[in-house]
C-alpha cells in the first residue's frame, strides 16, 4: 500500500520505521536536505525534499494515488493544511499529528470534519492516558483496553512472587479467577504458553481478563497495590498537560516541577486549577525533589525532553522509596537499559503512535473494509494484541477453537459477545458480531481469517 509521510523528525521517523517493517510502499517528505539524506540511507523508501504543504511537492510525492497520507511535522497547522490539500488532490485517507491542547478539546471533531481529516494522532495524549492507567493500577507495567470490556495487563514477576515455579494449569486451579496468561517473555524470547508452562521469577507476562477479574486475581495473589493518590511530575510539556487533566479528574493530587520560569507561568494559565501545585525549580536536583516532598508521594513521573535525564531522576526517586516511578523514554535502547537498572515501567509516545499507525494502515489494506478494530504492541514489541470484529463471512464460525487449526504462536485471548467478556476455553467458538482479541508473535495479522492455517 502506498503511504506518504510528511515530516521526518522524531515522530515521523518512528512512523516510517513502523510502516517500513509492515512492508508498505513509502514516500517520505521533509524540507531539510540532511534529514532526507539520512532517511534514504536508513530506510528503503523514496524521498522528496520540499514543503509538504506545497502543491508541487505533494504532486511530486504522488499523493494523487496514495492510500494514506500522514503529516507528522512539529506544526499542527502545517499538518492540517498538508492533509487538506492532499485530500483535495486525491489522497484517499489522511492522518494529521495534532498536539496543541487548543485543538484537542471540544473543537477537534469539528476541525477534523471541516478539513476532511480521516484521523488525528496526538503522541502526548496517548502517553498521558497510558501513564494514568498504570498509576491507577500500579501492579502493572503496561495496560491496554479492548472495547471497554477487556484489559491486557503486562507484569514482571519478582523473586518473591507467589506464582513463580507454578504451572499455568495449577495457577488456574489455585486462584479460580477468569483470566488467561496469553504470552510470556523470558530471556529475550517471547512464547505463547501452554497449560504446562511454568512461570519463573523475571518473566514478563501478558494477561487478559475483565477489569474486575484482573483485580480479583491480583488481590488473591497478593500483587494488588493501591492506586496512586499523590503524583509528582517533572517537566511541564504537553504530555504533562494531558496527564494533569486526567489525574485531577480522578481526584489525584498533583505537583509539577518545571525549570523554565516562563513555561511555569504559561502552564499554570493553561491548567487554571488552584489545586495543582506548579513549582519553578530544577527537577534534576536531588535537593529540590526532597524539598518538594519526593519521599511522601505515591508516584513520580519524569517527562522532560531528555531520555537520559528522565532515567536518572527516576532511578533516584526509586532509591528514595517512591512506590511507582515512570520515566518517558523514547529511544528503544535506553528503554531496555532502564529496565536493567531497575525501572520496570517506561512510557514512549513514539511507541504509542506506532501502534496506532500500524492499526490504521492494516485496517485500510482490506479494500472492502477490514474488521481490525485495534492493535497494540506488547511485551516490548515482540508480540501484538489485535481486536477484530467478526463478520458473517468468517469461514470458521461455530467451530470450537480447539478444532480451528490456529497458526503457530497465535492465541485467541478473549471474546467480547455483546456486553459480555469471555475468556475462551478450547470448546468455545466464534460467532458473528463477536469482538475477538488475538495475541500473535512473529505473524502480522491483517484480518481475522489470517489466524488459521489454509484449509
Give the containing element (helix H, strand E) for 114: helix 108-115
Domain 355-451 maps to which CATH number in 1.25.40.10, 3.30.70.260, 3.40.50.1820, 3.30.70.1450? 3.30.70.1450
Q: What is the pLDDT, as a whole number, of residue 310?
A: 96
* pLDDT at residue 367, rounded to an integer: 46
Q: What phi and psi, each to the nearest 5 degrees, are found at residue 205? A: -115, 150
Residues 6+ positions from 332 with CB-CB distance below 8 Å? 348
Give per-residue pLDDT as tens, 339-375.
888 888 999 888 888 888 888 888 787 644 458 888 8
Residues of the chain with CATH 3.40.50.720: 2-121, 230-322
Ranges of CATH 3.30.70.1450 domains, the chain:
127-220, 355-451
Torsion of CA 449, 451, 453, 455, to 10 degrees: -30
Distance CA 398, CA 334 (A): 46
Q: Which CATH architecture has domain 127-220?
A: 2-Layer Sandwich (3.30)
Instruction: Give the separation between CA 229 and CA 238, rounded to whole angstroms.
Output: 22
Q: How many residues does the chain have?
A: 455
Tell me the C-alpha distance between 31 and 8, whole Å.
9
The candidate with the shortest Cα–Cα distance to 79, out of 112, 101, 33, is 112
Give the pTM: 0.87
Backbone angles phi, psi at 23, to 5 degrees: 85, 20
Can you tell me the distance from the alpha carbon of 408 to that of 418, in angstroms, rounded to the nearest whole number? 29
The three cell numbers of residue 96 are: 494529521
What is the assigned CATH class of domain 230-322? alpha beta
At 451 the pLDDT is 92
Pairing of the two strands 150-156 and 94-97: unpaired
**What burial letters (b/e) apply to 104-116, b meaning 16+ CB within 10 Å?**
beeeeeebbeeee
The CATH number of 2-121 is 3.40.50.720
Reading the chain (455 residues) residue by residue, the pLDDT tens digits are 899 999 999 889 989 998 998 889 999 999 999 999 999 999 999 999 999 999 999 999 999 999 999 999 999 999 999 999 999 999 999 999 998 887 766 677 788 888 888 888 999 999 999 999 999 888 788 888 887 778 899 988 888 777 888 899 998 888 877 889 999 999 889 999 988 999 998 899 999 998 888 888 888 877 777 888 999 999 999 999 999 999 999 999 999 999 999 999 999 999 999 999 999 999 999 999 999 999 999 999 999 999 999 999 999 999 999 999 999 998 878 887 888 888 889 998 888 888 888 888 887 876 444 588 888 888 888 899 999 999 888 888 999 999 998 999 999 999 999 888 999 988 999 999 999 999 999 888 888 889 998 65
Amino acid at each position: 500500500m502506498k503511504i506518504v509521510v510528511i515530516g521526518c523528525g522524531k515522530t515521523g521517523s518512528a512512523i516510517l520505521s513502523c510502516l517500513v517493517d509492515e512492508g508498505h510502499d513509502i514516500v517520505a517528505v521533509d524540507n531539510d536536505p540532511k534529514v532526507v539524506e539520512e532517511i534514504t540511507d536508513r530506510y528503503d523508501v523514496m524521498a522528496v525534499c520540499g514543503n509538504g504543504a506545497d502543491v508541487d511537492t505533494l504532486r511530486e510525492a504522488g499523493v494523487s494515488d496514495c492510500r494514506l497520507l500522514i503529516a507528522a511535522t512539529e506544526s499542527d497547522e502545517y499538518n492540517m493544511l498538508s492533509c487538506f490539500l492532499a485530500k483535495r488532490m486525491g489522497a484517499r485517507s489522511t492522518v494529521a499529528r495534532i498536539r496543541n491542547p487548543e485543538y484537542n478539546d471540544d473543537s477537534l471533531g469539528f476541525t477534523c470534519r471541516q478539513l476532511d481529516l480521516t484521523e488525528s494522532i496526538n503522541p502526548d495524549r496517548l502517553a498521558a492516558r497510558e501513564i494514568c492507567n498504570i498509576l491507577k493500577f500500579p501492579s502493572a507495567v503496561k495496560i491496554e483496553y479492548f472495547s471497554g470490556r477487556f484489559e491486557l495487563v503486562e507484569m514482571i514477576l519478582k523473586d518473591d512472587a507467589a506464582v513463580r515455579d507454578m504451572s499455568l494449569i495449577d495457577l488456574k486451579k489455585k486462584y479460580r479467577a477468569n483470566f488467561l496468561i496469553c504470552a510470556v517473555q523470558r530471556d529475550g524470547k517471547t512464547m505463547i504458553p501452554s497449560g504446562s508452562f511454568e512461570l519463573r521469577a523475571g518473566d514478563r507476562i501478558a494477561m487478559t481478563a475483565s477489569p474486575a477479574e484482573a483485580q480479583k486475581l491480583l488481590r488473591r495473589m497478593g500483587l494488588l497495590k493501591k492506586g496512586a493518590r499523590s503524583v509528582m511530575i517533572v517537566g511541564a510539556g504537553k504530555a504533562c498537560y494531558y496527564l494533569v487533566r486526567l489525574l485531577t479528574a480522578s481526584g489525584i493530587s498533583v505537583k509539577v516541577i518545571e525549570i523554565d520560569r516562563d513555561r511555569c507561568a504559561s502552564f499554570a494559565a493553561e491548567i487554571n486549577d488552584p489545586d495543582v501545585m506548579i513549582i519553578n525549580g530544577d527537577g534534576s536536583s536531588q535537593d529540590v525533589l526532597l524539598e518538594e516532598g519526593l519521599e511522601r508521594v505515591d508516584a513520580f513521573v519524569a517527562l522532560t525532553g531528555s531520555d537520559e535525564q528522565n532515567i536518572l531522576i527516576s532511578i533516584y526517586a526509586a532509591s528514595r522509596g517512591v512506590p511507582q516511578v515512570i520515566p518517558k523514554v523514547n529511544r528503544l535502547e535506553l528503554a531496555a537499559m532502564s529496565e536493567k537498572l531497575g525501572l520496570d515501567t517506561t512510557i514512549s509516545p513514539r511507541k504509542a503512535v506506532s501502534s496506532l499507525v500500524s492499526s490504521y494502515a492494516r485496517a485500510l489494506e482490506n479494500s472492502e473494509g477490514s474488521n481490525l478494530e485495534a492493535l497494540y504492541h506488547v511485551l516490548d514489541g515482540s508480540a501484538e494484541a489485535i481486536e477484530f470484529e467478526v463478520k458473517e463471512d468468517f469461514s470458521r464460525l461455530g467451530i470450537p477453537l480447539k478444532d480451528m487449526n490456529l497458526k503457530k504462536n497465535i492465541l485467541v485471548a478473549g471474546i467480547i459477545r455483546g456486553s459480555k467478556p469471555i475468556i475462551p476455553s478450547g470448546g468455545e467458538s466464534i460467532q458473528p458480531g463477536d469482538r475477538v482479541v488475538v495475541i500473535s508473535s512473529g505473524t502480522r495479522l491483517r484480518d481475522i481469517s489470517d489466524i488459521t492455517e489454509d484449509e
